[in-house]
Amino acid sequence: MNVRTVRAFAMEDLEYEQYDESLKKTSNLNKYLGFHIGIFQGLTNISFGAMFLSILYFGGSLVSSGELSSGSLMSYLISTQTLQKALGNLKIRFNSFYFSKFF
């Protein structure tokens, strides 16, 4: 708002309270968002780490027995890492959709 208009109608205190309330709301939403991003990122990191280790374990046993080539195993691992990056970016899309209704 225009400072002269606010001062002319002596609404400085009301404008200050509204601004302070907006700041508190924004701060609370940012804390909420950060907490849920942390939970989502932690769970996806743990699940993909477990998946990667299980692929290495079982794929390594197949390579050692000669049922699978090492190139095929590496190709599969690269594909799973690409999938991990794509799902990691999903949180950005979800957050922009979910939190757009607050603003």
CB-based burial of residue 3 (10 Å sphere; 0-12 exposed, 13-18 middle, 19+ buried)? Answer: exposed
The reported pLDDT for the residue numbered 28 is: 92
44 contacts 88 by C-beta, under 8 angstroms: yes
Here the tokens at position 67 are 């049922």
Q: How far apart are CA 99 and CA 30, in angstroms?
A: 10
* Positions of the chain with pLDDT under 50: none
Per-residue model confidence (pLDDT) at position 93: 74
pTM of the model: 0.56
* Under 8 Å between Cβ of 59 and 76: yes
Q: Are the CB atoms for 55 and 76 separated by under 8 Å?
A: yes
Note the pLDDT of residue 84.
77
Query: What's the confidence (pLDDT) of residue 1?
Result: 55
DSSP 67: S
87 vs 46: CA distance, rounded Å? 13
